[in-house]
Each structure stands twice: as C-alpha cells, then as structure tokens.
Structure 1
Amino acid sequence: MRAELVLMGKRLDMAARVHRRALVVSIYAGLALLMAALWSLDRWHTSGVYMIFATILVNRLFLGGYNFGGLIKPFNGKAPRRSYAETPFLMLALRVYQPTPEESEYRNDEREVHQRDRAHYQAYQVLTIALTVLWLLADWKMKAPRLLAWMPVSADVLLYGLVLMAIVAAVTLPQAILLWTEPDMEEAE
C-alpha cells in the first residue's frame, strides 16, 4: 500500500489510518451523491452507465487494486504496460527518461497476498447478500408483482439501482476494506 496520494500535484499523506478512512468515506459519499444526482437527472435511463465509468475512474485514481494507480498495489502482481508509441517529446528531440517501476511497487509479498485474499473474502460475503436481495426482488417481481406494487418507483427501476450499487461495491469494496483495516504505517527513515 502506498503512503501518499498525489492529487492535482498536491501530495496527501495517507499513512495514518484516519486519513485512509476519511478517503473511503468521502469516496462512497461522493458516489452516493453522484447516484442520487443521476437519478434526479433522468431516473438512470441513459445516465446509469456514467455511474460505472465514475466508479472505474475512482478506482483508478484513488483505490487501485484492479489496475495500476491509486493506493493499493495491483492485485495481479503484473507490471504496468508500457506504451511503445512515440511521444511528442521524441518528435522534439527531447529525451524523456521513463524509469520502469521497481518490483516492490507492483508485486505483492506473502503478507499482502494474504490481506488481499482476506479482503476479497469479506467483500464477497457482502456481495453474496446483495445478490440474494436482488434475486429475491426479481423473484417477487416475476411471480407476485403485487408484493412490490406499494413502492413509489417501479420494481424495474429499483432493481436497476440495486444492480448499480452492487457493481460499485464489487469494483471498490476489496480495496476499501484494505484501506479501512490496515493499521497506521510507520514513517520511512
């Protein structure tokens, strides 16, 4: 796990557990606000996909885990892909040094693999409950639609919203668990 986050050129210290927990809370609060804003915009008819894109962007910039970037090392332990296309700097005959990242920046040691596996186990327990609720609502809608007739929104819209929330949780929850549970990092000497 990285101890700092660079946001618009400003370095934010994430070594303290309190800072990481505040980041996790602000990420989920921001995603909840975005989901509510997209609901008020068009009831997720065309804007639901933006929720998925926003989740992937948040994952890439802040959380990491499934891709290179963010606080959590990539789960797969592979080095980031390098682009072999010529950059504009080469066209100007300027030499730009792009060092390859050290193995410790993307390879997980045994402790980190154990933490990753534990976080995924905990996240999948939550996702199992969410999918069970989705199945139950879909079953009620299919077999006895009158059970869901009392709600102010249609059952289809409710199911769509719950699916969006389940996708957001599936993409972000393991990293959030890691950030939430990891103790304070020691200062590098």
Structure 2
Amino acid sequence: MIKSEVAKLPTRYGNFDIKAYKDGSQEHLAIMSKNFSDINTPIVRIHSECLTGDTMGSLKCDCNNQLNLALELISKEGGLVVYHRQEGRNIGLVNKVNAYKLQDEGFNTIDANLKLGFKEDERDYGAVGFILKDLNIKEIKLITNNPTKIKFIEDCGIKIAERIPAITEINKFNKNYLQTKKDFMGHIL
C-alpha cells in the first residue's frame, strides 16, 4: 500500500487534514478533523464511494446524505471519514449504471447486481483495515447502519464504543432501496 503525506483540506464543513492511500488501482482517502490525533475515541465513518450520490446528489440512494452527516459530525466532534473507493459496492461505475437500468425496470439493488453476475456486495474492506491501523485506531464511535461494517471493525480488533445511526431523509426515489438494504442486507434502519 502506498501512502501520501498529510495535507490540508478546507471545506464547507470546516478544515480537515487528508491522507491518500493507494491499493492496487484503487485510491482511498482518510479525511480527518484537525483534532483527530488528540481524540481517544474518534467518530469514524467508512464511506463507500458513490459518484452519482456523492457528486451529483442522486436521490436514488442515501449516500450523499450519509457523507454530509459524517463530515458535519466529525467537523464538530472530531473524527475520521475513510472514503472507500469501491464504486457501486465494488462493481464499478459502468456496472452500477447497468444496475440502475435494471432497477428502473423493477429489480431491487441486490437482484440487479445478481442479474449482472455479481454478488450482492463485492466490497473488500482490507484497505480500510490498513488505513485504520496506519492511523493507530483502537476504539471508535462508528457511524453506520451496515452490520457488515460493524463485524469488519470488530474483526480488526477495534472496539466500537458506540454505533451512531446514519439515518437520513427518505424520499420516493430511495424508499425501495433503503427497504431492500433493511430487509435483505440487515441494515439497521
């Protein structure tokens, strides 16, 4: 894994420090509050890349809202967002758009991935584990609804002092998506 130096990132949420990590062809980002190194139990969000949501504000998902929630929280209370660059649950942007087309035809998010020949979730969190270890994380307050991320953190030997729900606005475009995550992926919503 290749690491960058730490750089400053002023944002509309406040001033952060950032550090990039390269794992094969994927590059991930650690976005840290200015007081990050002084906090024993930081707030942490593992945020999986969603170009359509994070950049374009897609209403089909809750990704942009969850990222904004996390950045606001860590700006105020201190912590870290690991921006995990595995687009579309790691099926890539082209396949994600193809999955969107299948969702337009009535498939849910899981069935669309399966129809395209993928597992319901292709993500690998190995790079996240490396980043957390590199940043000397031992105990966190985890922002997530995803039981897979909770298990991953526990398997890394990191104590979860608190789970902070990432509950955001439901709309007519993401209602079925969120229901599928709850019913079939065990998300805590």
Output the TM-score relative to the length of structure 1. 0.26
Return the structure number with greater helix share. 1
From the CA coordinates, give the structure whose radius of gyration is larger. 1
Point out which structure has higher relative CO (alpha carbons under 8 A, 6+ apart): 1
